[in-house]
């Protein structure tokens, strides 16, 4: 116990020191919102990766891998290929250049100025501010559940308040510069701990081949409920035409793997470097980091079934008492050496804080810069800084409220929900705005609102996981979902397990292209400004 406390205290000491340095160098709005546009490739890559991968991936998705098996490794492939390579090379450079040409400081502001539309900026800002606290709350829940296991004398509710206060101290004062400095440090800790975790797990199970063979041989132990849902083994992918198969492939893998491209807290990082060279160099660093974080979490999550069964006769989900978010913490606390438990706790603390700090920052600046500043007169840079800090504080409070209200086992689903909603709302107008001069203001408006609306409709009336909990469809129609009465296992019935993003993103894309082709092209002078430096 003393080792865990000492490790946390040393970690916090470094965090507060970095936060102090960032605060001293944060003098104007550009420093607060874009870290002065002066970050180096290592800090960029580690901050990008640490923001992308947190307890939601390690605790939440790692726990999901304990239930569903190795099929989640497809998400690791997508996050490296799409979330790092495609994002940095094809999105990052053009975002940085266009953001500089239009003098933008936030993701909604980039969209708004690209289309000369205050409505687009404000709508995007409100969507981000309203929904990112749900994602941030999922991350907060993950680390607080782990702290609850490690320090049972302190209640879960108390940990919510403690962790929130710690992150708030440096995010509110130091802005994005503090976020990125601390992210780089925290990401380094996370990478080292995950490397130790995978090596130790394989040694414990007798080697790589032996470990995976043992998991394959456990197929007869697959719970009946999972078999009926379409999962046939922990090393075999589920049937695509099955409830759980559709959940894994459409919500977890597709929703997160594609949704990463439209994440405002990630897109803003492209604008924090002085040139394209830093983005090029960040690709390799980011790819290795994501592989260590997500790949290890998913492999260890699945292999924990072998360890739990060899020791107790239970598989991971049973050993964790039915809560997916407890699988990884229980595995670490029970089977890893004591010294590692303390260090891993610090790594998970780092994972949570790195992501939450970015979420708080982007949620708060979306409220202040992209909504409030459009309605309130700002006299000078100092007033803008105060308004930004107020917005971040409100985002932090909203996150804490959601963390109190959300149920257990929600981490992976809340993450996938936010990624999917951002993709349906923003991705078509973002990518077409970067590459197609024929994209129009009206096309962008209709695509964004249409994608958001269709995604929310699917979530409230079709997708059973959310519809059954929210209950709006039940209240209005008397059915859990609109397709609940369809023939079981038919494609119509299975649609209630298809993620909203699978349907909403194509709808949003069609609206963007179709309406733009039918409406007046934007003036050439504005397009020349947007494309300044892109060609």
Do residues 419 and 260 lie in contact, with contact meaning Cβ atoms separated by under 8 Å?
A: yes
Four-point Cα dihedral 155, 159, 161, 163, nearest 10: 180
Structure tokens at 62: 């790692």
Q: Which residues contact 534 (CB under 8 A, 6 or more apart)?
A: 94, 97, 98, 434
**Phi, psi of 106, deg, nearest 5:** -140, 165
Closest CA to 130 of 397, 398, 392: 398
Ramachandran area for residue 104 (φ above 0: left; ψ -120 to 50: alpha; else beta): beta
End-to-end CA distance of the chain: 58
Alpha carbons 178 and 155: distance in angstroms, whole number? 29
Q: Which residues contact 29 (CB under 8 A, 6 or more apart)?
A: 105, 381, 384, 385, 388
Residue-level pLDDT at 2: 58
**pLDDT tens across 57-84, in order?**
787 788 889 999 999 999 999 999 998 9
Four-point Cα dihedral 202, 208, 210, 211, nearest 10: 50
Neighbours of 322 (CB within 10 A): 10
Neighbours of 152 (CB within 10 A): 9
**């989900």: which residue's tokens?**
317
Alpha carbons 520 and 315: distance in angstroms, whole number? 60
Alpha carbons 70 and 505: distance in angstroms, whole number? 27
**pLDDT tens across 462-493, in order?**
988 888 877 888 999 999 999 988 888 888 89
523, burial (CB in 10 Å: exposed 0-12, middle 13-18, buried 19+):
exposed
* Centroid of chain to Cα 384: 27
* Centroid of chain to Cα 118: 26
Residue-level pLDDT at 457: 93
DSSP conformational letter for 480? S
Structure tokens at 311: 């020791």
Q: Which residues contact 164 (CB under 8 A, 6 or more apart)?
A: 140, 396, 399, 400, 403
Q: What share of the chain is helix, strand, coil (3-state, %, to 5)?
A: 80, 0, 20
From first to last of its 535 residues, what are the pLDDT tens digits of the chain? 555 667 677 777 888 888 778 777 777 777 777 777 788 899 888 888 888 877 767 877 888 899 999 999 999 999 999 989 999 989 999 999 999 999 998 999 999 999 999 999 999 999 999 988 888 888 888 778 778 877 888 888 898 999 888 888 878 777 778 888 888 888 888 888 899 999 999 999 999 999 999 999 999 998 888 888 898 889 988 888 888 888 888 888 887 888 888 888 888 889 888 888 889 899 999 999 999 989 999 999 999 999 999 988 888 888 777 778 788 888 988 888 877 877 777 777 777 888 888 888 888 888 888 888 777 766 555 677 778 888 888 989 999 888 888 766 566 667 777 888 889 999 999 999 999 999 999 999 999 999 999 999 998 899 888 888 778 889 999 999 999 888 888 888 989 998 888 899 999 999 999 999 999 999 999 999 999 877 6
Give CA angle at 207 (202, 210), nearest 5°. 110
Structure tokens at 197: 């975790």
Neighbours of 245 (CB within 10 A): 21
168 CB-side CA count, 13 A:
19
**Phi, psi of 92, deg, nearest 5:** -60, -50
Four-point Cα dihedral 258, 263, 266, 268, nearest 10: 130
Ramachandran area for residue 529 (φ above 0: left; ψ -120 to 50: alpha; else beta): alpha
* Sign of the four-CA dihedral 146, 152, 156, 161: negative
505, burial (CB in 10 Å: exposed 0-12, middle 13-18, buried 19+):
buried
Do residues 403 and 176 lie in contact, with contact meaning Cβ atoms separated by under 8 Å?
A: no
**């239930």: which residue's tokens?**
67
Domain extent listing, the chain: 2-425
Alpha carbons 120 and 71: distance in angstroms, whole number? 38
DSSP conformational letter for 291? I
Q: Which residues contact 222 (CB under 8 A, 6 or more apart)?
A: 231, 232, 233, 234
Alpha carbons 506 and 427: distance in angstroms, whole number? 10
Do residues 250 and 72 lie in contact, with contact meaning Cβ atoms separated by under 8 Å?
A: no
Closest CA to 15 of 133, 171, 146: 171
* Centroid of chain to Cα 116: 29
Query: Could you tell me the CATH superfamily of domain 2-425?
Result: Sodium/glucose cotransporter (1.20.1730.10)
């Amino acid at each position: 116990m003393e080792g865990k406390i000492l490790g946390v205290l040393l970690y916090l000491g470094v965090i507060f020191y970095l936060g102090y340095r960032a605060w001293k160098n944060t003098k104007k709005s550009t420093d607060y919102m874009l870290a002065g546009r002066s970050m180096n490739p290592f800090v960029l890559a580690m901050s990008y990766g640490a923001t992308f991968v947190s307890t939601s991936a390690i605790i939440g998705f790692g726990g999901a891998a304990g239930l569903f098996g190795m099929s989640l490794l497809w998400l690791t492939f997508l996050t490296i290929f799409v979330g790092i390579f495609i994002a940095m090379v094809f999105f990052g450079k053009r975002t940085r250049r266009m953001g500089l040409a239009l003098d933008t400081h936030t993701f909604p502001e980039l969209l708004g100025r690209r289309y000369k539309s205050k409505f687009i900026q404000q709508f995007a800002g409100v969507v981000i501010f309203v929904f990112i606290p749900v994602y941030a709350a999922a991350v907060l829940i993950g680390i607080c559940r782990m702290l609850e296991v490690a320090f049972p004398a302190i209640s879960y509710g108390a940990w919510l308040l403690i962790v929130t206060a710690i992150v708030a101290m440096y995010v509110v004062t130091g802005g994005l510069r503090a976020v990125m400095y601390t992210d780089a440090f925290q990401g380094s800790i996370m990478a080292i701990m995950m490397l130790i975790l995978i090596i130790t797990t394989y040694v414990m199970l007798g080697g790589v081949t032996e470990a995976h063979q043992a998991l394959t041989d456990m197929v007869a132990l697959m719970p009946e409920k999972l078999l009926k849902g379409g999962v046939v083994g922990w090393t075999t992918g589920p049937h695509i035409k099955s409830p759980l198969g559709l959940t894994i492939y459409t919500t977890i893998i597709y929703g997160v793997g594609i949704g990463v491209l439209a994440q405002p807290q990630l897109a803003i990082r492209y604008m924090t470097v002085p040139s394209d060279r830093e983005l090029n160099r960040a690709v390799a660093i980011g790819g290795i980091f994501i592989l260590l974080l997500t790949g290890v979490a998913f492999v260890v999550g699945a292999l924990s079934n072998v360890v739990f069964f060899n020791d107790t006769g239970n598989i991971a989900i049973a050993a964790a008492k039915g809560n997916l978010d407890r699988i990884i913490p229980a595995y670490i606390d029970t089977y890893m050496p004591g010294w590692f438990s303390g260090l891993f706790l610090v790594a998970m603390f780092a994972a949570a804080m790195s992501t939450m700090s970015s979420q708080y920052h982007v949620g708060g600046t979306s409220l202040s810069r992209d909504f409030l500043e459009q309605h309130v007169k700002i006299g000078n840079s100092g007033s803008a800084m105060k308004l930004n800090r107020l917005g971040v504080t409100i985002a932090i409070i909203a996150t804490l409220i959601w963390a109190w209200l959300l149920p257990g086992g929600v981490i992976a689903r809340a993450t996938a929900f936010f990624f999917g909603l951002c993709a349906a709302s923003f991705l078509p107008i973002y990518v077409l705005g970067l590459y197609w001069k024929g994209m129009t203001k009206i096309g962008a408006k209709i695509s964004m609102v249409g994608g958001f609306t269709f995604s929310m409709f699917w979530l409230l009336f079709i997708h059973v996981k959310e519809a059954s909990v929210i209950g709006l469809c039940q209240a209005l129609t008397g059915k859990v979902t609109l397709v609940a009465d369809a023939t079981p296992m038919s494609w119509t019935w299975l649609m209630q397990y298809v993620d909203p993003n699978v349907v909403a993103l194509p709808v949003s894309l069609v609206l963007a292209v179709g309406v733009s082709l039918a409406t007046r092209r934007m003036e050439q002078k504005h397009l020349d400004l947007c494309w300044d430096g892109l060609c």
